[in-house]
Each structure stands twice: as structure tokens, then as C-alpha cells.
Amino acid sequence: MAVRADRRAAGLRSSRAGAAARLAAAVLPLVALGAGIGAAVAGGAGAIAGLAAAVVAAAVAGAYCDRLALSAMAARPVSEVEHPELYRLVRELSKGGRLPVPRLLLSPAGQPNSFAVGRNPRSAAICCTEGLLASLDEAELRGVLGHELAHVSGRDILPATVSAGLATVITYPAVPVRLLMLMLVLGPVAALVIRLSVSREREYRADAAGALLAGDPVALAGALRKIEAGVAELALAPDARLSSVAHLMIASPFHPEGFARLFATHPPLGERLRRLEALAGYRR
């Protein structure tokens, strides 16, 4: 028992160290952008001012990152009266994973998708779209919720959520004026922030841990198939705000083409399904 506790503590320390490293890497492009713009405008003094502005922007993004991500999907808190089964599943899975029960929110999007945000397990929130709840059966929904809780327990929600906030801050000037040329300049910087903070392995790990938590890898595989089909049919437009939070979702909400490819961080569906089926004991 003591050995298991030691391993759990070591794993937690490793997760926290990895999250800190990814956060530091994600902040660097924003700092470089601020210093570079300042230097181009006013030389050395401008670089210092730009650096200070970047630090302030990073602090704002860190403080409000979860709200920024949720607002991009127009998410609202959902009550247990509205969706008692959703609450029941999340409570059961949270208990099995020894996690606090996260806040639950609902996005009006018809596309089936979900994501988790937060700085730690106590501040975590899970958002499901209306399309997800309408598309999946109970076993499949349980698998998806297990996947999102695996992100929470794996501590990768911190760098992923903060990077979403940083990317939103970077691309914000392109939102009110809707300047394509401005987004072409700022978009690659925001995409770099996201790529430095998340990896494809993040989704593989959450698939495996979430499937084990839910107890049914095949159900999660089935859910992923339905989600990918729903995305293909109801793909979202990759505007500045949505592009900044797409990496949080269980599947990319965009068609994998054009500008959206800059922000692509999800692994191929085929490989995700292969790994889940192997976890269930199937062989291709």
C-alpha cells in the first residue's frame, strides 16, 4: 500500500513538473512577440515596454483562461434538474478516479464535442455540446466523460487551458475588426503557443486512462466514431476565438484544411481507435 502511494505521489510530481515546463514554453512566444513589436516601434525602451505588456497579458490569460475557453463555445452552467443522468455519470466516474466532481456546462453547438478546462482538479469544469448529448448512448457518453476526467487527473488541463487563454489574447486584435491579414500574422504565433503546450500524446493518454476509468474502451471508440462523423457534417468555422480553444476538445471541431491546419493537435482517428481496440483485447 505504501509503495502504491509512493508511486502515485511520484507520478503527481512528474505531472506537475511536466505541466510547468509546458507552461513556460507556451509563454515564450507571447513574450517574444511583445518584445519584438516594442523594439520595432521604439527600440530598446519599446522592447522593455512590450515585454511588460506581454507579462501582463500572460497574467490575464492565466487568470481568466477557463472563462475565455468556455465563452468561446457560449457554454452555460447546466443544472442537475436539466440533466440528472449526466450528473450521475460524472459523480460515479469522479468517485472512481478519486477526483472532486467538476462543474458541468453545456454548449448550444449542434456538433458533438466536449472539453475540460481548469487549473487543477478542484477548479475543473467539463463542457459538453448539445450535439454530444443527443448523439451518444449512455456507455459512449460515459467513455467521453471518462476521457475528460482523465485530462483532469493527468494534470494536463493546466497548460492546455492557459495556452487557450494565451492564444485568445494573441489573436484578440483580429476579432473585433475581422482583419484576415492580421489573423495571418497573429495566427501562427497563437498556433505555436498551443503546439508548445500540448501534444498528440495528450489525447492518447486520456483515451487510455478514460477508457479504463469508464470500464469500456469499445464504447469510447464508438463515441469517437460518432463525434468524427458529426464534426464532418457540422464543422465549425475556424475563427480566431474557436481556433484558440480547438485543442481542448476531444476531436478537432474543424475540417482539417486551410487555416485550421495550423492549430491541428489531435492524433489521427484511426490510430486512436486502434489503441482503444488493443486495450480491449482486439487485434487488427
* Of 112 and 168, more confident: 112
Tell me: the pLDDT tens digits for 149-186? 999 998 888 888 888 888 887 777 666 555 566 666 67
The C-alpha atoms of residue 197 and residue 265 are separated, in whole angstroms, by: 10
Is it true that domain 66-279 has CATH number 3.30.2010.10? yes
Point out the residues that are catalytic: 148
Could you give the C-alpha distances from 239 to 45, 72, 109, 142, 253, in angstroms and in order? 34, 10, 15, 30, 11
Strands 103-107 and 125-129: parallel
* Of 248 and 52, more confident: 248
Q: What pTM was computed for the model?
A: 0.83
The C-alpha atoms of residue 261 and residue 272 are separated, in whole angstroms, by: 19
Cβ neighbours, 10 Å, residue 76: 12
The C-alpha atoms of residue 159 and residue 194 are separated, in whole angstroms, by: 9
Instruction: Give, to the nearest 10 degrees, the angle between helix 180-197 and helix 157-171.
Output: 160
pLDDT at 131: 97
| pLDDT of 41 above 70 | yes
Q: How far is CA 214 from the centre of its chain?
A: 20
Q: In what order do the strands lie in the sheet with 76-77?
A: 76-77, 103-107, 125-129, 114-117
Tell me: the pLDDT tens digits for 228-244? 999 999 999 877 788 88
φ, ψ at 84 (rounded to 5°): -65, -35
What ranges do the domains of the chain cover? 66-279
